[in-house]
Structures are given as structure tokens and as C-alpha cells.
């Protein structure tokens, strides 16, 4: 083993029910480095992480060496003892426990004591937070925290467990740019304390920003490991997919003569104030802004789930009062939420059932029973139209990749034949190739006359998919930009101002 390496994997393979998840993968981590693992969904990233953390056992012939010592039969408990901590996308926290309890729970369990030393537990939490210059209320319930603060609690828990290697699975997928910057500062602070960091991410621009080296997986094989300074988004995209991925600017025009949505001085205290804009037939209108800008609250108002206190909403010239989402749907508005796992889909239910959920009334017989033949034809058509990769419409949605889950959400709302479709962060947690496919769907829908509101904090996504971009800050609209007249750097700076 190279003396500079904390971890070495050699000839690692793993097969599940005949599917080769990993094949002869070599992987190295230097002490104190920040390395990113990238690849499409199904490339083997999660399997590799779970082998390192002892959740999965590699097939015979593979070797794992940690800190110069060959390891066999690694279990999650042994992995933790060796200083390996994994922070998964859901953070694996206890929402009904306090910050202190979540950070110090493992240390308490290791003592085997029946009673909790609350003073020591709180001090453990404060000590862990102080190491990365974080200050959170140790008595606050985790369920009351923002996603960004939950991420910090998970990191502090790893520090309290004397982590030497911290693996972060999609740590920025639900964070704003401002929160990403704060997280990156924490990651660099961990590195200064000689803690090795592995990032798994779909956001290639962030990979290039934080990583020293990048390992690329494709179809269970390791493509290569490169110095991040020698890579860019396009090279990474090609190596991940085997094909050129380009995000071309939106070229389709829209019907400037046909205004389908008018928002006039819409206000709701604590959410947003004096919001006015219009949306045209076939237009893709981007909304962006930092956390607290009010963009999602505004979207929920347009979908009847957060009624405004004053102002007007007009659809096709008619003033409407949207008190519920049912009223919004009846007016031709669809909404794809940012959190598809809890708000957009019923994860344990079949793909087909999710797709048909919004239009069940149209699939009934005269006896008010579901016409199974009509339902199947409807579902099959939607799966085909959106190119949802699924072996069978009866498989559960939670078995699909992030990109395919998002296509199911889109299919569900497209089935309602909306005039207006609101997309809140539609590519969160979606890999590079799946993003490209979703962008093409958005452009196709717009070309058919649907007015689309695209909410995003990914600047390249906005510039290549929107006709106009509106910037919100502290509940107000503060700017309007045309993609052809502003650069990626300039727009990023304006978003992060103030």
C-alpha cells in the first residue's frame, strides 16, 4: 500500500441477482484529500460506498486496505470503529430528537449505560460544532431545522465519532448556492484537521470547485481518476456517459401576443411582496434567488396551496381565486415540487398508479369502476412519451433512478393537459444524462404552447432553458434578465448579492 493512502480497494466486484454492479474496480484515497466520485445513476457509486462502509461484502478476490492494514469481513460497526462515516442524502437523523441527542447518540450507546449524562451529551455536541465553527441550538429538535442545518448536524455527528474518512452522498442536492458555499467551507475545515473527504455528486460544476481528484464510474467499471484541475464539465460529462452532452440555449420562440398568466401586485406577509409578472403561451420563465427569497412560496400560491393576502391572479384574462390545489388544477395549473420523494410521488406505489393518479376520474366506467384496459393504454402511452425506463408499469417508483422518478412526476402532471406547469428545481439529484432528457421534455412542452415556470438556482440550467429569468430577493422581484444578454458569471453574482 502507498504510504500516503488512507484507503485502497483492489479488484472490487459486486453482483446482484445477475446484475454486475461493480467489476474489478480499483480505488484509492490519499490521507486528507477531497475526492469526488461521479457517474450516472446505476454506475456503481452507491455500491462502492456501501462496500467501503461495510454494508455490502465484495466478491472473493477483492481486497480492502485501510491505513496499511488489510481488512476482511468489514461490517458497518467495524467500519465506524475504523473511522469511516457516511452521510447519506437523507442524513439518517432522528427528527424527533434534539441536535445534541443526534450528535452524541453513538457515544452514549457505546458506554452501555442505562442513564444518559445530559451534561456530557450536550458538551459532546458543542465540542463537535466548535471544531468546524458551527453554532446550533443543541436543544432544538432536528425536525425544526433547515436542510442545510441538518447537514451540519450529520457532519458534527461524524466528528463526534472521531471520523477519519467522511463520505457525503449528494450533500448539495437540496441546498441553495449560499448554503453550498457554507458547506464547502466546512469541508475544507475538515480537511485542515486531516480528515479525508469523499463527495458523491451530480452537480459537475460543484465537483470541479471542491475536488482535488475525481474518480469516474460508468456501468460498474472505473473509467479513471483525474486531477480536478485537468477536467471541466464537458470532459466529465463525456467520460460519465460515453457521449457528448451539450446544453444548447433555448431557440424556440413563444407567443408574445397570448398572455396566459398575469400576476399583479401579489403579496403575502412573511413570504413575498408586490410581485407582478406575466407568462405567455409557450414561454419558459425562470425564477431564481437565494433561500428565503420567496420563490417557492410564490409558486405554492399559484398552485392554491399558499393563498395570497392581496393582489390578483388572472388566467387568460379572468381573475381567479385559488384557495386550494384542486382549484388550481381545474384552472389548468400543474406543479412539480422540489421534494419529489415526499411531495411528488407515492414511492411505494407502482409507476402506473402514480402516473394515473391525477386523472383517475377520466378512466372510470359508467359504474364508477376503473377501466383497466383504458388505464393500461393510458399509462403505457405516457411511459412511451416521456421515455421512462422501467421494466414494468407495476414496479414501485422507489426502484427507479432519480431521473426516471422525475419523469414519472412530469408524466403525472402532463396527463392533466395543463396550460401552466410550475417546475420547482426539476433536476435536483438527477444525473447529467437524465438532466439533458428532462430539458428536452421542458422545451417540447413549451413548443406545444404550455407556459412553464422553471424555478432553479443552477445558473447554467436557467440560461439554457429559459426565455426570461426573474430574480427574487427577500420576497421581492429585483431583476429581469434575458439569457442572451447576461453571462453565467454575471447572473451568479447577481443571485448572490445582498
Angle, CA 79 vertex, CA 75 and CA 84 arms, to 5°? 150
Cβ contacts of residue 498 below 8 Å, gap of 6+?
473, 474
Q: Which grid coordinates are listed for 275?
A: 410581485
For residue 341, pLDDT beyond 70: no
Selection from 38-42, 90-94, 244-248, 319-323 with the highest mean pLDDT: 319-323
d(CA 152, CA 113): 27
pLDDT at 245: 62
Q: What are phi and psi of 378, to 5 degrees?
A: -65, -50
The CATH code for residues 255-332+418-496 is: 3.40.50.300
Q: Which residues face 212 on adjacent strands?
A: none
Helix 372-385 to helix 402-414 angle (10° resolution) is 120
Distance of CA 110 to the CA centre of its chain: 33
C-alpha count within 13 angstroms, C-beta hemisphere, residue 410: 29
Q: Give me the residues paired with residue 280 across strands.
A: 259
Confidence (pLDDT) at 166: 94
d(CA 339, CA 36): 24
Domain boundaries, the chain: 5-241, 255-332+418-496
Lowest-pLDDT choice from 28-42, 58-72, 484-498: 484-498
For position 321, what pLDDT does the model report? 94
Q: Per mean pLDDT, which of 145-154, 209-218, 340-349 is the most reliable? A: 209-218
DSSP characters over 11-38: EEEEEETTEEEEEEEEEEEETT-EEEEE
Q: How many CA atoms lie within 13 A of 118 on its CB side?
A: 3
By C-alpha distance, which of 488, 366, 317, 341 is closest to 428? 341
Per-residue b or e along 345-380, where b marks 16 or more CB atoms closer than 10 Å to that residue's CB: beeeebbbbbbbebeeeebeeeeeeeeeeebeebbe
Query: Rounded to whole angstroms, how far apart are CA atoms 71 and 43?
Result: 25
Q: Could you give the percent of the chain with pLDDT greater than 90?
A: 44
The pLDDT of residue 490 is 92
CB-count burial class (<10 Å; 0-12, 13-18, 19+) for 14: buried
Q: How far does CA 446 lie from the centroid of its chain?
A: 24
pLDDT of 4 higher than 80: yes
pLDDT at 313: 97
Q: Each residue of 357-370: pLDDT tens digit? A: 776 677 767 777 77
Interatomic CA distance for residues 298 and 431, integer angstroms: 28
Largest CA distance in the chain: 75
3-state helix, strand, coil in the chain (%, to 5): 40, 25, 35
User: 224 forms bridges with which residues in the sheet?
Assistant: 216
Looking at CATH, the fold of the domain delimited by 5-241 is given as Rossmann fold (3.40.50)
pLDDT number for residue 382: 79
How does DSSP classify residue 112?
T
Which residues, 6+ apart, have CB-to-CB distance to 489 below 8 Å? none
**Terminal C-alpha separation, the chain:** 49
- Burial code (b: 16+ CB inside 10 Å, e: under 16) for 270-301 equals ebbbebebebbbbbbbbbbbbeebbbbbbbbb
Q: Which of 209-213, 344-348, 392-396 has the highest mean pLDDT?
A: 209-213
The answer to whether 5-241 and 255-332+418-496 have equal CATH topology is: yes
Cell numbers for 207, please give them.
465537483
Looking at residue 100, its pLDDT comes to 93
| H runs (alpha helix) in 161-225 | 177-192, 204-210
pLDDT band at 273 (very low <50, low <70, confident <90, very high): very high
CB atoms within 10 A of CB 483: 19
Residue 246 has pLDDT above 90, yes or no: no
Asked if pLDDT for residue 440 goes beyond 70, the answer is: yes
Cell numbers 437523523 correspond to 93
Contact 185, 34 (CB under 8 A): no
Amino acid at each position: 500500500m502507498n504510504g500516503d493512502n488512507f484507503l485502497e480497494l483492489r479488484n472490487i466486484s459486486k453482483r446482484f441477482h445477475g446484475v454486475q454492479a461493480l467489476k474489478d474496480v480499483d480505488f484509492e484515497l490519499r490521507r486528507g484529500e477531497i475526492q469526488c466520485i461521479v457517474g450516472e445513476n446505476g454506475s456503481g457509486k452507491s455500491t462502492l460506498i456501501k462496500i467501503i462502509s461495510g454494508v455490502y461484502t465484495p466478491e472473493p478476490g477483492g481486497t480492502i486496505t485501510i491505513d496499511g492494514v488489510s481488512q476482511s469481513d468489514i461490517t458497518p460497526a467495524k467500519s465506524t470503529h475504523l473511522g469511516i462515516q457516511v452521510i447519506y442524502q437523507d442524513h439518517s437523523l432522528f427528527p424527533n430528537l434534539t441536535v445534541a441527542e443526534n450528535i452524541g447518540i453513538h457515544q452514549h450507546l457505546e458506554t452501555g449505560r442505562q442513564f444518559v449524562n445530559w451534561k456530557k451529551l450536550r458538551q459532546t455536541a458543542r465540542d463537535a460544532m466548535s471544531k468546524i465553527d458551527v453554532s446550533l441550538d443543541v436543544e432544538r429538535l432536528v425536525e425544526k431545522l433547515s436542510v442545510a442545518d441538518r447537514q451540519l448536524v450529520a457532519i458534527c455527528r461524524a466528528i463526534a465519532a472521531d471520523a477519519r474518512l467522511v463520505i457525503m452522498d449528494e450533500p448539495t442536492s437540496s441546498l441553495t448556492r449560499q448554503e453550498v458555499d457554507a458547506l464547502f467551507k466546512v469541508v475544507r475545515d475538515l480537511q485542515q484537521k486531516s480528515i479525508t473527504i469523499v463527495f458523491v455528486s451530480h452537480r459537475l460544476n460543484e465537483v470541479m470547485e471542491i475536488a482535488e481528484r475525481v474518480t469516474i464510474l460508468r456501468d460498474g467499471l472505473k473509467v479513471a481518476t483525474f486531477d480536478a484541475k485537468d477536467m471541466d464539465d464537458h470532459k466529465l460529462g463525456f467520460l460519465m456517459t460515453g457521449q457528448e452532452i451539450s446544453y444548447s440555449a433555448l431557440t424556440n420562440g413563444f407567443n408574445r401576443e397570448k398572455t396566459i398568466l398575469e400576476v399583479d401586485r401579489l403579496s403575502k406577509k412573511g413570504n413575498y411582496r408586490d410581485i407582478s409578472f406575466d407568462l405567455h403561451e409557450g414561454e419558459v420563465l425562470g425564477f431564481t434567488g437565494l433561500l428565503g427569497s420567496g420563490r417557492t412560496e410564490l409558486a405554492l400560491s399559484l398552485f392554491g396551496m399558499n393563498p395570497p393576502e392581496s393582489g390578483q391572479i388572472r388566467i387568460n384574462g379572468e381573475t381567479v381565486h385559488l384557495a386550494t390545489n384542486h382549484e388550481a388544477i381545474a384552472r389548468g395549473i400543474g406543479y412539480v415540487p422540489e421534494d419529489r420523494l415526499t411531495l411528488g410521488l407515492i414511492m411505494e406505489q407502482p409507476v402506473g398508479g402514480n402516473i394515473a393518479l391525477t386523472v383517475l376520474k377520466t378512466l372510470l366506467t359508467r359504474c364508477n369502476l376503473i377501466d383497466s384496459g383504458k388505464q393500461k393504454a393510458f399509462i403505457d402511452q405516457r411511459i412511451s412519451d416521456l421515455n421512462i425506463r422501467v421494466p414494468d408499469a407495476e414496479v414501485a417508483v422507489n426502484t427507479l433512478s432519480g431521473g426516471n422518478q422525475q419523469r414519472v412526476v412530469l408524466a403525472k402532471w402532463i396527463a392533466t393537459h395543463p396550460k401552466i406547469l410550475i417546475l420547482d428545481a426539476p433536476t435536483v439529484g438527477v444525473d447529467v444524462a437524465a438532466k439533458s432528457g428532462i430539458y428536452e421534455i421542458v422545451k417540447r412542452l413549451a413548443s406545444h404552447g404550455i407556459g412553464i415556470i422553471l424555478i432553479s438556482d443552477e445558473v447554467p440550467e436557467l440560461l439554457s432553458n429559459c426565455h426570461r429569468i426573474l430574480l427574487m430577493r427577500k420576497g421581492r422581484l429585483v431583476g429581469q434578465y434575458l439569457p442572451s444578454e447576461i453571462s453565467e458569471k454575471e447572473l451568479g453574482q447577481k443571485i448572490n448579492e445582498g
